[in-house]
Structure 1
Amino acid sequence: MSTTTRTAEEEWLRFREAREAALAESHGWLTLTSFQWLADAPSGVELVPGLWSETDGTARVTARAAHALTDLTNGRSIDGTVTATLDDEESLSWVASDGPDGRRIVVELARRAGRYVIRTRDAEAPTLTGFTGVPAFEYRPDLVVEGRFEPYDEPVDERIGTAHPEVPGTHRSVGDVVFRLPGEDGDFRLRASQENTGTLAITFHDATNGVSTAPWRKVTVRRPRRDGTVILDFNRTVNYPSAFTPFGTCPAPVDGNVIGAAVEAGEKMPRP
């Protein structure tokens, strides 16, 4: 093993450590325990007390002091009605409940497809307390490949599915990433979105899906160089939260983002 390869693998191991530490956060993705649309009329919901609803674009929760709910936007106990208003695709850690400190369960408010939904995040969820890491393929230096980015004149918004059948999604494609994998004839061309940092994100299917990996995965690519070249490190391919929990609303790949080969790198299907 060359010094360069050894250094790259060491960096990848540090990446894996940081990734698993982020997943193990006390109210992270592994703690989701419900997905519940809010009704028009004040109604009870599962796992937390109070009456919850949405009216005229505003979410509401009504509770008594005895319910021991905390408004996380100001840290105060709820005794009456509190409201919140979000734009579509926004989320808010809104209310906390239960546990010795009253914050074992965090209620996340989100707005999806014009509707309000709450998701409970329980710091004692079995998916978190039983978490021992994400299975991953061994490091593959040959699956760090050079490609090129071909930007569009203007971003293109495309409708996509998500991990939740009632939640449609939109993918904003900013260009194509073109690359070749070792042992494969011809190029692959995948549409990419752009993150706030300028990096490119590629959500894709490949031949390992449903065999050793989740139904789809994502790889992030650093900002393109001046000449448009990019480096795709498939060892850093990760699962979406929906691979760990049925309560995710993660975006599926845009039509055509399929690698017709087995990308045996990055994260595998999570353990049950």
Structure 2
Amino acid sequence: MTVTAAAQLERWQRFRTNRNKALATRHGWLTLTSFQWLEPEPSAVDLVPGVWSTDGTTAALTAAAQDGLTLVATGEPVNGSVTATLADEESLMWVQFGGADGQQVVVELAMRADRYAIRTRDSGSPVLTEFDGVPTFGYNPDLVIEAGYEPYAEPVAIPIGTANPLVDGMHYSVGEVVFRLPGIDHEYRLHAEEEKLGALTITFHDGTNGESTDEWRKVSTPRPRVDAAGNATVVLDFNRAINYPSAFTPFGTCPMPVKNNSLDARIEAGEKQPTLAD
């Protein structure tokens, strides 16, 4: 193994360690235990004390001190009614309860498809407590690919589905990543979204989906590099392909790939389908 190859492997192993640590946070994606729409009529919900409702614009919660709910932001007990307002796609870690410290379960308020919902995040969930890392394919240096990047003049909004059939999504394509895979003689073009600091994220299907991997995955690239001639390139490292939260929980609203982001190849790199505790 060359020094360069050894360094690449070490960086990937560091990436995997950090990825597993990020997933295993106390109220992260491995702790989701419900997704429930709020109704106009004040009513009880599963797994959470209090009475919940929405008028379509604002979410409301009414609870008594003995219910044990406190506001996540301040720790103040909920004794009466509290309200919150979100824009579409926003979320708020709103109230908490349970456990020795009163913080075992966090209730996330979310606005999805212009409707209010709550998700419970229970740090006692066996999906978290029995988590031992996401299984992956072995590191494959052949799937670290230099790709061209062709940006659009303006982002293009493309309607998409999500992991929740009741929630539609939107993919804001900022350009196309253009590349070839080893042993395949045709070119691929995948739509990309822009993330922080100009990084790109590509959500894709491939031939392993539903077998060794989840129904779709995503891979991020660093910010594109532009040479003196104005040509942009990115490093597309499929070893860093990861699952969306919906691979770990049925309560996610994760975006599906756009129609064209399907590879007629098996990408045997990156994260596999996780094995989850019952």
- Indicate the TM-score class for this superposition, using the shorter chain for normalisation: over 0.9
Corresponding position of 2:241? 237
Picking from 218, 241, 247, the partner of 2:251 is 247
Deviations 1:10-37, CA, capped at 9 Å, x for gaps: 0000000000000000100000000000
Q: Which consecutive unaligned segments of at least 5 residues does structure 2 have?
A: none
Q: Distance between the aligned counterparts of 2:240 and 2:91, measured in 1? A: 26
Corresponding position of 1:271? 275
Contact 2:56 2:116 in 1 (8 A): no
Sequence identity percentage: 60
The one-letter amino acid paired with 2:150 is: E
Deviations 1:73-109, CA, capped at 9 Å, x for gaps: 3220000000000000000000001111111000000
Deviations 1:20-55, CA, capped at 9 Å, x for gaps: 000000100000000000000111011110000111
Query: Would you say 1:75 and 2:75 are equivalent positions?
Result: yes
List structure 1 runs of 4+ shifted beyond 2 angstroms: none
**Matched residue count:** 272
Q: Distance between the aligned counterparts of 2:106 and 2:68, measured in 1? A: 13
Contact 2:56 2:115 in 1 (8 A): no
Contact 2:201 2:218 in 1 (8 A): yes
How large is the RMSD of aligned CA atoms in angstroms?
A: 0.7
Q: Distance between the aligned counterparts of 2:132 and 2:239, measured in 1? A: 20
Corresponding position of 2:221? 221
Query: Would you say 1:260 and 2:260 are equivalent positions?
Result: no
Deviations 1:101-141, CA, capped at 9 Å, x for gaps: 11100000000111000000000001001111100000000
Q: Distance between the aligned counterparts of 1:75 and 1:97, measured in 2? A: 10
Q: Distance between the aligned counterparts of 1:130 and 1:192, measured in 2? A: 34
Alignment TM-score, normalising by the size of structure 1: 0.99
Q: Distance between the aligned counterparts of 2:43 and 2:89, measured in 1? A: 23
Q: How does 1:96-111 map to 2 (within 5 A)?
A: 96-111=96-111
Corresponding position of 2:137? 137
Query: Would you say 1:19 and 2:19 are equivalent positions?
Result: yes
Q: Distance between the aligned counterparts of 2:27 and 2:61, measured in 1? A: 21
